[in-house]
Amino acid sequence: MESTNKVNEQYLLGGLRILDLGTMVSGPVACTLFGDFGADVIKVEIPERGDTVRDIGPYVDDVCLYWSVENRNKRSITLDLRQPRGRELLLKLIKAVDAVVENFRPGTLERWGLSYETMKAENPNLILLRISGFGQTGPYRERAGYDRIALAFGGVMGITGFSDRPPVKIGTSVADYQTALLGAFALLMAIYHRDMHNGGGQEIDLAMYEAIARFTDVLIPTYDRLGVARQRRGNTHFASAPGEHFLTSEGRYIILTISANAGFERLCRVMGRPDWQVDPRFRSHESRWEHVDELNKAVAEWILSKPEKEVCRLLDEGKLAYSFIYSVADMMTDEHYLARETITTVNDPKIGPIRMTGVIPRFSNAPKKSIKPAPDLGDSNDAVYRELLGLSNEELESLRSDKVI
């Protein structure tokens, strides 16, 4: 697609145009990742109400911070897809975009007369990314799906937490974001296949639970071949021995994780435990895992016995992997975060500066992308409908009065 925003062509995804029909997190964030790197992302929202995430909060004045973070670098238009004229407008817009992203419950677009076949008739090269809780096929296809549903059905929640307590949800919307990442990757693959191999348009079916299940490491093959079902083990993991969340002398928690033999040997040196290096119980990772509780107890005592700075000095000396468990306040002030500008400031025209994560990752041969604040509801109606469809003032006013836009 030819870009209408020439300045964006210097960015990695400049020239691409994505129509974001999604709501809440997984679909919209997949689009935000494109917007972060220069694609023209047009967010389609329900007239007057807008995306549901605008109602979630937290708020500063009347501005939803959730909206500000997850819908930056987009333009917003309003369009009621349930109305015939709304459907007609969308099909016209589809001629001017590379891809459409939606995360409605399966069958929703079809009920509105907007199946992929209908869209593709307007634009044979169109790519449609469809995100749903359980996928477009299968006996559970019509079930609603949210972040914690995917974590549960995808197998992660059942192995998260302590054995004597109920399963625990991860602290952020990991399933939503993991699905968004996989969705953005899938969309890029389809665009590459279309543009580099003349592959044409296609439909992508991504289930949130599958985005979780795909990254459960050896959970499934271990059960398949060894009959071992992983259980909740709190903060220990079979790939780390020793490995735990250890209390420091200053009341904070530090994570230390050891897997390779070389790492264990370095730990022995910094702890002054040469006896461990010849102890048959600790010769391999497998044998150390069998005695992980004993190792963790000894490491915990060693860490608690020294000032934090001394512990860090010794761990750094041993080139060992560790980190304090950070609060958001720690993240905002840490020198490494500051040096890499992991957190940046976006100036919202209504509430002023907002600090949020920047554009990640960094590329050596691409200009740094500035972040455009998340749009007001329908703020690009005139620009988009005039620019892409050539609508007149009278046509726009008619659509507004009928609440089509």
The catalytic residue among 36, 55, 176, 402 is 176
DSSP string across 335-357: HHHHHHT-EEEEEETTTEEEEEE
Separation between Cα atoms, residue 371 and residue 360, nearest integer Å: 12
Do the Cβ atoms of 134 and 141 come closer than 8 Å?
A: yes
Question: 3 vs 11, 24, 38, 90, CA distance in Å?
Answer: 12, 27, 10, 19
DSSP tally for the chain: helices H, then strands E: 18, 13
Distance, CA of 352 to CA of 361 (rounded, Å): 25
Q: Is 176 a catalytic residue?
A: yes
C-alpha–C-alpha distance, residues 214 and 232, integer Å: 19
Q: What angle do CA 169, 173, 176 make, to 5 degrees?
A: 125
CA 61 and chain centroid, separation: 27
List, by residue number, the catalytic residues: 176
